[in-house]
Amino acid sequence: MDITVLGSLNMDLVTRVQTLPKVGETVSGISFETTPGGKGANQAVAARRLGASVSMVGQVGDDIYGVELLKSLRSEDVYVENILTSEGMQTGVAIIGIEDSGLNSITAVYGANMVETPAFEESLRQSVVGADVLLLQNEIPHRYNLIAAKLAKESNTVVIWDPAPANEQSIELADIVTFITPNEHELAPFIGDFDVDVDNVELILNMVSRLDDSFSATPVITLGEKGVAFVDKGKPKLHKAAPVDVVDTVAAGDAFTGALAVGISEGLELSEAIRFANLAGSICVQRHGAQIAMPTRSEVDEQLLGPQ
């Protein structure tokens, strides 16, 4: 099970508040901490903790955050030799506010993640070939995702693209990759701008079918507490999620996508891989943080199979 993740590394600067401030308002926070994040690195840690062998391809700046992020990934046993340090650049940061209700707001400044150099392009070309599964998101230059997806496709690698954050310019990838995993808020670039009512099962199933007809990738849409809508052997399906106490939804999508990659690389049927991934996401939302909230294999297996 070799998984390559091409994507972002950010230091998350997280404030917890009772209620997120409105524009022009100042509120007094409850706590502040810096924790490793970035959608790419989060997915790498998710997949590694679930038992895959994981290589991360990305870029950090030559600052203390870059050093800390690499150290943290190394401690998780993720292969980091294909992460380049960009001289004179800042490491990506995400300024995250989380309120008591669990709602959050994120401002990301991508810094080194967005640097384009021949050296990085060469490094990613070398690293994507040969993996069982390649994971992509939307926090690095789109051009690099495109190069990696095309190379992976040529070598029959399964490509899972988490189109987050939503980006109109990137949808051509949906005709190259194997699976796309948007959440309900990231659908607009694919289906047009309308409110998705996650309570309307019929509408959700219609939409997932429409997505399947419009692009060659198989859609797997995460709907938070409502579950996951997907197309299996041509049929739209809804995997219902069991209710849990949500404390923090940051990186829940990353837990899901990293786990989906593990399930697929282990040869699970799509519906089984989604069940596995959904459990990983639901454990993640019951904890604070991004990488630190990713579940281990035994935690997910315990939910799947009961105590061993």
- Residues classed as catalytic: 254
List the one residue from 4, 6, 39, 219 that touches ligand RIB (CB under 6 A).
Answer: 39
Find the part of the chain contacting ligand RIB (CB under 6 A) among 15-23, 70-78, 189-197, 246-254.
246-254
DSSP 74-113: HHTT-B-TTEEEETT-PPEEEEEEEETTS-EEEEEE-GGG
Rounded to whole angstroms, the Cα distance separating 255 from 32 reads: 23
Nearer Cβ to ligand RIB, position 92 or 236?
Answer: 92
Nearer Cβ to ligand RIB, position 231 or 252?
Answer: 252
108 binds ligand RIB (CB under 6 A): yes
Task: Decide if 191 contacts 202 (C-beta within 8 A).
Answer: no
Report in angstroms how near the CB of residue 69 gets to ligand RIB at its nearest: 10
Strands 158-161 and 179-180: parallel
Nearer Cβ to ligand RIB, position 39 or 275?
Answer: 39
27 binds ligand RIB (CB under 6 A): no
Rounded to whole angstroms, the Cα distance separating 156 from 272 reads: 22
List the one residue from 5, 6, 7, 38 that touches ligand RIB (CB under 6 A).
Answer: 38
37 binds ligand RIB (CB under 6 A): yes
Q: Find the distance separating the first CA and the last CA of the chain, reported in whole Å.
A: 23
List the one residue from 251, 255, 261, 293 that touches ligand RIB (CB under 6 A).
Answer: 251
94 binds ligand RIB (CB under 6 A): yes
Task: Decide if 167 contacts 189 (C-beta within 8 A).
Answer: yes
Rounded to whole angstroms, the Cα distance separating 307 from 295 reads: 15
| Helical axes 252-265 vs 39-49, angle rounded to 10° | 50
List the one residue from 54, 227, 254, 263 that touches ligand RIB (CB under 6 A).
Answer: 254
State the residues that interact with ligand RIB by CB under 6 A: 8, 10, 12, 37-39, 42, 94, 106, 108, 139, 250-251, 253-254, 290
